[in-house]
Structure 1
């Protein structure tokens, strides 16, 4: 019986930083060898460039920079097999590749066969699909190499089995959405059982624009049983031991990190998304408008958990319609979390704008214009602070508001990153309650009070919108499931309400094109996932 030590080295690369990512790989390799003396070290998909590199893959210097990185890796690899991902340009065609390095040489190279081209993925824009499976001898074990989507389809695993593979190593860059880890584990269990071989799966970790990769690398036995699961949301090198008798490969039971609850999973994803966006883009700090409402309260809690209180500033910008409750709750939360807190009234700014616009507005009745002007006064203040201090403005709009346009261009939409952009309002409440179970972070009164933009006397969100408990169900069906109006109505929703909501979603595409990006947590977020034309006349009912 031969024992093999295999390390899953999940890393957090930065897209485009080929030299820095290579440094990460080499540092992790040194640490893995020193701690575990492994036979195989497995890294994630495209770890050398980061994922997804998008049109950076079209740069003329790509091939040279990748080749230089691979020479560094080759030179550093000794008596363990190192498997890692990178783009490879061959005869004018670009492949999503995985190389097997050993004793200073690139032994074999595999090209990803199944290129995803749905939702956030558009690999067919860049890569040519590979057409051959790779099964090679690694430490005496017939071992197949595959990359991410290859295990989501049946063909590559079946081909590897035909070629006698007894182990599959899968390099992955699989982004998070709620419930994704359960899907992955079920899928890998199915593939392992179908292929009659264990699968060692190494996933990327870290935030990249709106995407978050959650790690949680794992090993599944040939019987489809979970053997090992790495920590989520952090870099980690987890070692598993396999036993080879010359015919079959089995694994000793490894460490299995607990799966978080759905709410904890989403919350940690949002935290990592903010942290990596801020840090990877070189911002020193963040600033946000703290209104005393639930959206800004949750955004503040996430920002503090991501960056630390010393890098977060909250600004309350009251107006004549701001309630004393909002002022009290904003101040209480800022003190609770220990952030820098300022109060800057927008009253004089608003009055100055109105005086300047007096001739233009003469004879016209007050309407939404005056409400939007309040939001734009606040946007100007936050952007000025951002410019002066180099702080990224976090906007606080949730997915429900973004969907129906319940937001103001150049007002509350002004900023660089929308933390809650893919978080429905009902989920904002759930996440706020969850966060308070960890430690006090949001005043309970903020969670309990009816939501209001406080742009007019006695205003409540439900004066303009259906109850969020209803609205969010309709939005999920339309945005995430692509159901038509008639299908939604047939599920029991009011006809007039459904048509009004769907019309609002369609009409406000122009706003979303100008909105800040934000972390994706659902299977269909605004941005990479959902690409609708602004100018279009598609019937709402179809």
Structure 2
């Protein structure tokens, strides 16, 4: 049996486009069977669109119409499926021009970015799907992570395990996926084919990286990450032997390269899937906006990126020079727009009422920049990218309606120390190995100068925050590892510093709720991964 694997990018709700793509891959596959990812007809995740009856009806109608065009061999596609008064997450076997079998997802995830039990009903433990006389064991995404579904399928005579997925990316996910898959192969003694979706959907990335494990537990092939791919495998149901044209599985990437590719994919898809062609951002001459500018240029093309340098009386000549050099290196457009006069106008308007000074006066500056950037976005129909990193967002070191202004934040889930590591990687020849021919993309000084918001004379980030190498380690323990203050202090950290950082984290939840979405890169990103109340009285000790 020859099976084709469609690792494809499938926008949510684009039934006609998704079915056309599936049909194109089916036509080009030259195989007995085409396997597509979870919810390939509707895209993943439709979230509460599933509660809209007309959405589910449209998905099923599109699946039925697609079935009529699959007359040679077969295809397995994913769609929400209504059965009586319940809706299921289903994989549908199509052959001979019609739907042959429908299998419902059994294990519904309810953690992190997932809350499937609120919109889907769980199906029964499945039986193998028969195709051309071969019993195929189907593990729909989370079904793979528990032994019960696999055990039932194996006992019922499945000869191979097919695992269609819409599995979100994080920097640690590849290891855990393969670990679970190897366990199922070890338990069952039959090979597994793991197929994942690829693409960005709001704040989630699907990284592809589909793979095949032979019955001896060895990974014999893996599709590339972050791109669409059509692969094949040949399977002998009598012997269990499996071969593939997928590349050798020893694909090794630097963390920095992987994170950068993930952010580019997320940015490209967010811009294009929301109907935009261009992006705009504020270019300060600092490392955060430099990295976002590079991501934008690589994601949607430098000709589609416009930047503004928005100096106040506190902006340095060095920042202007660095911003100009970044724009020149990347080949993107940059204009200088002074905010000194608007600052004075705001101050004059408030005279006799509050006479702004200190932090109030400082925050007027980024808020004016936000107004100007949004005006540029409105006038040019360009999506505004914001440029705050995870360290700043975690501690509230950002101005609401100011530098937080924007529709998407490519670096939202990167700590400041990671920003430096990824920027240094993108600025080096190492990036060329991954298809980024243009380097460096920023002057060396951007990578080495002390970070500053330049909202007052001589300001540096470390006037307000602990050093970033210390701050990020403590934040990682508080956020990703969910450790308490005493637990962190027991690892040798100063108790006053840990308490200060924890309090900053807790107090700034109201800002994070109003922040632009950005791609999930870590095991715990702000948003659905970490759901904290804004209004609460508990204080850390």
TM superposition score normalised by structure 2: 0.96
* 2:10 counterpart of 1:13: yes
Q: 1:342 pairs with 326, 335, 341, which one?
A: 335
What whole-Å deviation, never above 9, does each CA across 1:405-430 have from its counterpart, x for those lacking one? 00001110111111111110000000
Matched with 1:354 is 347
Matched with 1:331 is 324
Matched with 1:217 is 210
CA distance in 2, matches of 1:137, 1:354: 74
Whether the aligned pair in 1 keeps the contact of 2:233 and 2:242 (CA below 8 Å) is: no
Matched with 2:47 is 54
1:39 to partner: Cα distance: 1.3
> 1:82-481 maps to which residues of 2 (within 5 A)?
82-244=75-237, 246-251=238-243, 254-256=246-248, 258-362=251-355, 366-437=357-428, 438=431, 439-481=439-481
CA distance in 1, matches of 2:156, 2:350: 76
Whether the aligned pair in 2 keeps the contact of 1:243 and 1:251 (CA below 8 Å) is: no
1:272 to partner: Cα distance: 0.4
CA distance in 2, matches of 1:278, 1:306: 9
Matched with 2:436 is none
Whether the aligned pair in 2 keeps the contact of 1:100 and 1:107 (CA below 8 Å) is: yes
What whole-Å deviation, never above 9, does each CA across 1:47-80 have from its counterpart, x for those lacking one? 1111110010011212321221122221111232
CA distance in 2, matches of 1:531, 1:5: 45
CA distance in 2, matches of 1:119, 1:234: 24
1:284 to partner: Cα distance: 2.6
1:211 to partner: Cα distance: 0.4
Matched with 2:538 is 538
Structure 1 residues 70-79 or 118-127, which shifts more? 70-79
CA distance in 2, matches of 1:506, 1:419: 23
1:17 to partner: Cα distance: 1.5
Secondary structure in structure 2 of the residue aligned to 1:360: coil
Secondary structure in structure 1 of the residue aligned to 2:341: helix
CA distance in 2, matches of 1:311, 1:250: 45
CA distance in 2, matches of 1:472, 1:373: 28
Whether the aligned pair in 2 keeps the contact of 1:243 and 1:252 (CA below 8 Å) is: no
Matched with 2:434 is none
What whole-Å deviation, never above 9, does each CA across 1:267-287 have from its counterpart, x for those lacking one? 100000000000000113111
CA distance in 2, matches of 1:178, 1:247: 36
1:254 to partner: Cα distance: 4.2
1:253 to partner: Cα distance: 6.8
CA distance in 1, matches of 2:468, 2:164: 40
1:497 to partner: Cα distance: 1.0
The gaps in structure 1 that reach 5 residues or longer are none
Whether the aligned pair in 1 keeps the contact of 2:41 and 2:79 (CA below 8 Å) is: yes
Matched with 1:39 is 32
CA distance in 2, matches of 1:140, 1:59: 37
CA distance in 1, matches of 2:501, 2:17: 47
CA distance in 2, matches of 1:136, 1:465: 58
1:531 to partner: Cα distance: 1.0
Whether the aligned pair in 1 keeps the contact of 2:37 and 2:77 (CA below 8 Å) is: yes
Matched with 1:508 is 508
Structure 1 residues 516-525 or 485-494, which shifts more? 485-494
Matched with 1:491 is 491
Secondary structure in structure 1 of the residue aligned to 2:458: coil
CA distance in 2, matches of 1:261, 1:138: 40
CA distance in 1, matches of 2:20, 2:410: 30
CA distance in 1, matches of 2:31, 2:354: 74
1:19 to partner: Cα distance: 2.1
What whole-Å deviation, never above 9, does each CA across 1:457-499 have from its counterpart, x for those lacking one? 1111011001110111111111111111111111111111111
What do you get for the CA RMSD once the two structures are aligned?
Answer: 1.3
Whether the aligned pair in 2 keeps the contact of 1:95 and 1:111 (CA below 8 Å) is: yes
Whether the aligned pair in 2 keeps the contact of 1:207 and 1:273 (CA below 8 Å) is: yes
The gaps in structure 2 that reach 5 residues or longer are 432-438
CA distance in 2, matches of 1:211, 1:290: 26
- Aligned pair count reads 531
Secondary structure in structure 1 of the residue aligned to 2:248: coil
CA distance in 1, matches of 2:353, 2:90: 61
CA distance in 2, matches of 1:253, 1:276: 28
